[in-house]
């Protein structure tokens, strides 16, 4: 059963007890990510994520790693555009170790100058690795051009020049203004005893810090059609449109469209572009949904000389769904696929913890798996056609390519010719 408890500090605790498991996952989620950064501090949220592993007042970075390793546990973190998560997974008997280490990192990180300088070099290498991974790099190019001029479009990693200027004072000030109780969710899933957990989380219950509303504006999507040059073997492509915010009533319909078009081996894009035409190894669609905006895109990597054909095939499948819609049988099969993915993910305590934390951060509530299935099941073929026709419009279609060959004709004329 999913339970939500508001601690005296305002921190939200969401839990799901799974007594048949032997492990437990604990995540500390903060509603702060790259979109809440000032331009001169780009990448600071991600850098803070790194720094929380680099030593506290009572533990060195090595001791943090060794304490979880000693019990066979896992400790990690990730940063997104709107949230950051620090998490651990351990055997149920070691929940005290996991919570103690996470709490120490969260409240008592030292941010030693020597560690800051050393970690900057680590993040520089991460940025270089990212830039050497074209299917990651093209996504940054796509979002930064669609949302150019707005923080949500910037790279989560930031840039070398920005990190060079980052100081300990910047880190402390950013945490003080953004890491506040009302923006924190603690998510716990697996085998645990609630009274013991509440005792372990006392530092979060006793935490006091004035609330500070995040300063942000709603991004305005801009249509972009650009070729970027890079000396790589494949031509990497993203074609997409602005989409729906996470709390929109039609988000469940759009999730079905995403599955139908480009998730899995039976999807329309995979079957047409890889299986029937043999043009790609990887083609898939993706959906990014945020508090006030969203993005739907299709990624493909292909031989440079096949780029135009791949883009035309993507446009053709998108247009076919727009014109013909989907029949009841196919829709039911897609919903069954989503159901399978959902329930398979819930067989992992980490998967359950992630769902709890993300749902509470994004929606302010956690729906049960059955409630989510009810939302998808009530979507009709008419809903699919209505939502897709509202989003997939010629003037809204953006496209970005990355590779050695510049497409000819240019992307603008290619999109105009291939979409109606």
- Determine contact, residues 174/36, Cβ cutoff 8 Å: no
SS3 of 192-207: the string is CCHHHHHHHCHHHHCC
- Determine contact, residues 79/49, Cβ cutoff 8 Å: yes
**Buried/exposed code over 142-162 (b: 16+ C-beta within 10 A; e: otherwise):** bbbbbbeebbbbbbbbbeeeb
Q: Rg of the Cα trace of the chain?
A: 23
- Determine contact, residues 418/281, Cβ cutoff 8 Å: no
Q: Which tokens is 142 given? A: 């796509």
User: CA torsion, points 71, 47, 38, 87, in degrees to nearest 10?
Assistant: -10
Instruction: Name the 3-class secondary structure at 386.
Output: helix
Residues in the chain, total? 420
The H-or-E segment that residue 185 falls in is strand 184-190
Q: Annotated catalytic sites, by residue?
A: 49
- Determine contact, residues 95/200, Cβ cutoff 8 Å: yes
Cα-Cα end-to-end distance for the chain: 48
- Closest by CA position to 24, among listed 195, 184, 193, 185: 193
Q: Which tokens is 346 given? A: 């819930």
d(CA 42, CA 81): 11
Q: Per DSSP, what are the bridge partners of residue 85?
A: 29, 78
């Amino acid at each position: 059963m999913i339970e939500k408890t508001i601690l005296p500090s305002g921190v939200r605790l969401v839990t799901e007890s799974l007594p048949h498991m032997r492990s437990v996952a604990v995540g500390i989620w903060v509603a702060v990510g790259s979109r809440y950064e000032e331009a001169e501090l780009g990448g600071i949220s991600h850098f803070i994520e790194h720094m929380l592993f680099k030593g506290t007042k009572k533990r060195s970075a090595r001791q943090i790693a060794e304490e979880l390793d000693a019990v066979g546990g896992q400790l990690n973190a990730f940063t997104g555009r709107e949230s950051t998560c620090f998490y651990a997974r351990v055997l149920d008997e070691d929940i005290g170790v996991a919570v103690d280490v996470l709490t120490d990192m969260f409240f008592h990180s030292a941010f030693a100058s020597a560690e800051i300088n050393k970690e900057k070099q680590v993040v520089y290498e991460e940025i270089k690795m990212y830039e050497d991974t074209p299917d990651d790099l093209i996504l940054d190019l796509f979002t930064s051009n669609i949302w150019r001029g707005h923080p949500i479009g910037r790279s989560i990693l930031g840039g070398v020049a920005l990190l060079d200027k980052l100081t300990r004072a910047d880190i402390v000030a950013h945490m003080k203004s953004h890491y506040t109780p009302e923006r924190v969710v603690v998510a716990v899933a697996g085998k645990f005893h609630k009274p013991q957990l509440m005792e372990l989380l006392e530092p979060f219950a006793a935490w006091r810090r004035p609330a500070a509303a995040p300063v942000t504006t709603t991004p305005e999507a801009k249509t972009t059609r650009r070729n970027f040059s890079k000396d790589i073997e494949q031509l990497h492509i993203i074609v997409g449109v602005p989409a729906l915010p996470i709390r929109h009533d039609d988000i469940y319909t759009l999730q079905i469209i995403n599955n139908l078009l480009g998730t899995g081996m039976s999807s329309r894009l995979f079957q047409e572009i890889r299986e029937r035409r043999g043009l790609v190894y990887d083609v898939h669609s993706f959906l990014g949904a945020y508090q006030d905006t969203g993005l739907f895109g299709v990624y493909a990597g292909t031989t440079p000389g096949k780029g135009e054909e791949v883009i035309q095939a993507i446009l053709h499948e998108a247009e076919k769904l727009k014109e013909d819609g989907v029949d009841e049988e196919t829709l039911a099969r897609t919903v069954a696929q989503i159901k399978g993915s959902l329930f398979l993910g819930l067989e992992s305590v980490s998967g359950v913890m992630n769902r709890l934390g993300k749902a509470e951060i994004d929606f302010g509530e956690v729906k049960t798996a059955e409630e989510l299935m009810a939302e998808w099941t009530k979507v009709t073929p008419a809903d699919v056609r209505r939502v897709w026709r509202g989003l997939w419009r010629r003037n809204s279609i953006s496209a970005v390519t990355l590779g050695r060959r510049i497409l000819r004709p240019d992307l603008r004329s290619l999109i105009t010719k291939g979409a109606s």
